[in-house]
Amino acid sequence: MKFTILFLVIFSSSGNSSPSCGEDPLISNLKMHSMNEDTCTPRRTTYPTHSNDLVDYMIHNVRSLIKRAGDDLANPEDYPAHYSAKDGEEFDFIVVGAGSAGSVVANRLTEVEGWKVLLVEAGGNPTKTSEVPGLFGTLQNTNLDWQYRAGQEENLFHGFINKSCSWSRGKVLGGSSTINYMNYVRGNPRDYDSWAAAGNEGWSYENVLPYFRKSEDLRVPEILATEDVGKYHGTGGYLQVESWVDVDTSLHGFIEVFKKAMADLGLPFNPDCNGKSQSGFTKLHATLRGSKRCSTAKAFLSSTKDRNNLKVSKHSLVTKILIDKKSSTAYGVELVKNEDNVIQVRAKKEVILSAGSINSPQLLMLSGVGPRQHLSDLGLPVIQDLPVGENLQDHPLMLGLVLTFNYSTSTFPDSPDVSMFDFLMNRSSSLAEIGSISYASFLNTLKGVDYPDIEMYQIHAEKNYSQSLLNFLNTLSLKENIVKEFIHINEQAYTVILLASLLRPYSRGKILLENSDPKKYPKLFSGYLSDRRDIDTFLRFYDFIDNLIETDPLKSMDAKLYEISLPNCKIHQFQSPEYRECSMRHLISTSHHQSGTCKMGPLQDSGAVVDPTLKVRGIKSLRVVDASVMPN
């Protein structure tokens, strides 16, 4: 086990020519882990005479250091102050939702000093916990999370409690960028080119790449040193992108073997999945600033907190977009403050929806923009008949594959307290990283096609070290018998759970209102596996894993494939295509990438809600700018 060591150096004489470490006796004489005496000589310090007084003095100062470091996490002063909007108050723009899109839009609009902007957010400031990368899994099902659930769908989610799947969405400044895994993946160039090919002018990869570069502040030395870095990456932008720190070296041996196995199957190591090619085995980059989370709130709002033309109304729930029926023009929003204080705020130029792929369609439908029959059934007025809430898509996540290995790291984590101390002082503990899920494999299950349809992650657990598995499994709400089987496998050997995310699903779900109450969550239908082509892609992934464990590198570690035994699937031959499809339907989950519910499309696209400039069809002065507009 690694321990934190405090070196105390007390000098009894002076006269050194080296520069002083500073005035604070603790900072000058106390170094965490190591001391560079060549560059920094502590100044002479007088301490209390009695050793017990000296220890008390040191403990007091260590506590002070920890408090200062802790206070630096999610400091409220880093974000715009709360503004209490007044009933009838008028702004040029009202932006609904301070998430991954809204934070950027609010920043850009307020660059124009003459424009007054109100940004409305249902949540509050990020918490200290959200700043610590290694604690990302603890943020789900908290007050930072809307805690949506999809479920009650025929022949899906049989392995989950209440037959439902947790869909976490951020309810906080920064939205889901404040509670996600922080891995920075832009999407495949061919995704954007397909949008443009469908008639969405201005959305090709060539069109959007300059904006990726503009927003980025890349801090990855090995990528910055490449010849074509400027073609794909930017520096000096608001969003800082770093490498994951490499504190826990216990995975290195396994990763090297796995890297060779993937190369044997034609997927060599790719140092930059956001560069020339996405395919291959890679260590992902992350939205971090100094090894702390860099959410879009930190990136794009902290830099605007002193702009007089930006006001941020926190803990404010928008319940309706105000639309003039005669002119079909949006002119403001209705919002609730402090649970029961309802006010209306007006927009002179535009209302911009950036509430996310669930909340944005919900708001549109509550405001009279949506499928005519559905709104009429709920007694809601219909201002514009549009397919809002349709075309829901996600990256379904398959959980049922487990590999075991004759492998041991012979290391165990530090205690949580020691890890937190090291993180606060040096960003040098396991809390500064997210472990094995910082690695990913982008592969196409159809050989010879350089357009990945699967992204594969790994969850590692040392033999008989169930706590690390439980920390992950408990976020999924799996049934107890299934959790026990994962744990039983781990009791026998070093365990790797394979997570396969379907990158280009054909299946579509939908969102419907429960009723006309804006505080009532909508009904979410995932539609997972409703298109046979998605099942076939996952079955080809099973074939890929069958081949992977037969590679010499994995054979050298005695790799074995386990598939979770499911009683309801025993009518099929174990590991047959029929059994595997049954397993999918039990254990399919989410990558938390919901999109498409306010689809963007050209005029001739009957399934579109917004045009390529993101204006809502048939409604003036209203746009949607979040992931709900993504066509596919």
pLDDT in tens, 257-313: 999 999 999 999 999 999 999 999 999 999 999 999 999 999 999 999 999 999 999
Q: Which pLDDT does position 474 carry in this prediction? A: 85
Which residues carry out catalysis?
593
* SS3 label, residue 156: coil
Q: Are both 309 and 381 inside the same structural domain?
A: yes
Q: Is the dihedral of CA 16, 22, 28, 32 positive or negative?
A: negative
195, 203 contact by CB (below 8 A): yes
Q: Are both 347 and 327 inside the same structural domain?
A: yes
> What's the mean pLDDT in 482-498?
94
The residue behind tokens 């502590």 is 42
pLDDT band at 23 (very low <50, low <70, confident <90, very high): very low
What lies within 8 Å, CB to CB, of 551 at 6+ separation is 260, 261, 264, 265
Residue 323 counted as domain residue: yes
DSSP codes of every residue in 32-77: ES---TTT-BPPP----SSHHHHHHHHHHHHHHHHHHHHHTTT-GG
Residue 410 counted as domain residue: no
DSSP label of 430: G
Residue 617 counted as domain residue: yes
Q: Which pLDDT does position 20 carry in this prediction? A: 40
Pairing mode, strands 216-219 and 239-243: parallel
pLDDT band at 8 (very low <50, low <70, confident <90, very high): very low
User: Of 52, 71, 90, which residue sits at a domain end?
Assistant: 71
* Token pair in block for residue 289: 């600033």
Q: Given a cut of 70, is residue 33 above it in pLDDT?
A: no
> What's the mean pLDDT in 343-363?
99
pLDDT band at 448 (very low <50, low <70, confident <90, very high): confident
Tens of pLDDT along 594-624? Answer: 999 999 999 999 999 999 999 999 999 999 9
Task: Please choose, from the candidates 464, 455, 488, 489, the residue with its C-alpha nearest in 3D space to the C-alpha of residue 562.
Answer: 489
- Helix ranges restricted to H, 351-415: 356-366, 372-377
Q: Are both 57 and 86 inside the same structural domain?
A: no
- The alpha carbon of residue 391 and the mean position of all alpha carbons in its chain are separated, in whole angstroms, by 22
* SS3 label, residue 111: coil
Q: Which pLDDT does position 46 carry in this prediction? A: 55
Which residues sit opposite 310 in a β-bridge?
117
42, 11 contact by CB (below 8 A): yes
CA distance 576 to 399: 17
- Helix ranges restricted to H, 233-320: 252-264, 296
Q: Are both 24 and 110 inside the same structural domain?
A: no
390, 364 contact by CB (below 8 A): no
* Token pair in block for residue 335: 């919002």
447, 431 contact by CB (below 8 A): no
Residue 420 counted as domain residue: no
Tens of pLDDT along 310-338? Answer: 999 999 999 999 999 999 999 999 999 98
Q: Which helix (H) or strand (E) holds 350?
A: strand 341-353
The answer to whether 496 is annotated as binding is no
Torsions phi, psi for 393 (to 5 deg): -140, 160
308, 116 contact by CB (below 8 A): no
Task: Please choose, from the candidates 219, 251, 257, the residue with its C-alpha nearest in 3D space to the C-alpha of residue 430.
Answer: 251
* Token pair in block for residue 602: 């050209």
Residue 303 counted as domain residue: yes
Q: Which pLDDT does position 412 carry in this prediction? A: 64
Task: Please choose, from the candidates 96, 136, 145, 423, the residue with its C-alpha nearest in 3D space to the C-alpha of residue 287.
Answer: 136
Q: Domain count for the chain, please give it.
A: 2
Q: Given a cut of 80, is residue 157 above it in pLDDT?
A: yes
Q: Which pLDDT does position 96 carry in this prediction? A: 99
377, 334 contact by CB (below 8 A): no
CA distance 215 to 294: 13
Residue 564 counted as domain residue: no
Task: Please choose, from the candidates 629, 592, 534, the residue with its C-alpha nearest in 3D space to the C-alpha of residue 195.
Answer: 629
* Token pair in block for residue 166: 């947790």
Helix axes 466-473, 480-492, angle to 10 degrees: 150
Q: What is the pTM of this model?
A: 0.90
Q: Are both 35 and 118 inside the same structural domain?
A: no
Q: Given a cut of 50, is residue 37 above it in pLDDT?
A: no
The answer to whether 220 is annotated as binding is no
Residue 615 counted as domain residue: yes
Tens of pLDDT along 460-488? Answer: 988 988 787 888 888 899 999 999 999 99
> What's the mean pLDDT in 114-124?
98
What lies within 8 Å, CB to CB, of 541 at 6+ separation is 398, 445, 454, 456, 500
Q: Are both 311 and 359 inside the same structural domain?
A: yes
* SS3 label, residue 304: helix
Residue 604 counted as domain residue: yes
Q: Are both 16 and 65 inside the same structural domain?
A: yes
Q: Are both 63 and 85 inside the same structural domain?
A: no
Q: Which carries the bigger pLDDT value, residue 377 or residue 68? A: 377
Q: Are both 37 and 83 inside the same structural domain?
A: no
Torsions phi, psi for 316 (to 5 deg): -125, 120
Q: What is the CA radius of gyration of the chain?
A: 26
CA distance 269 to 258: 10
Q: Are both 63 and 112 inside the same structural domain?
A: no
Q: Which pLDDT does position 427 carry in this prediction? A: 85
> What's the mean pLDDT in 164-171?
97
Q: Are both 35 and 88 inside the same structural domain?
A: no
Q: Which pLDDT does position 413 carry in this prediction? A: 66
CA distance 561 to 497: 10
pLDDT band at 48 (very low <50, low <70, confident <90, very high): low
CA distance 616 to 225: 43
CA distance 86 to 230: 46
Q: Which pLDDT does position 69 carry in this prediction? A: 85
Domain that holds residue 621: 79-127+297-391+598-629
Q: Which pLDDT does position 442 carry in this prediction? A: 98
Q: What is the CATH number of the domain that holds 107?
A: 3.50.50.60
Q: Are both 321 and 375 inside the same structural domain?
A: yes
Q: Which pLDDT does position 50 carry in this prediction? A: 53
Tens of pLDDT along 250-259? Answer: 788 899 999 9
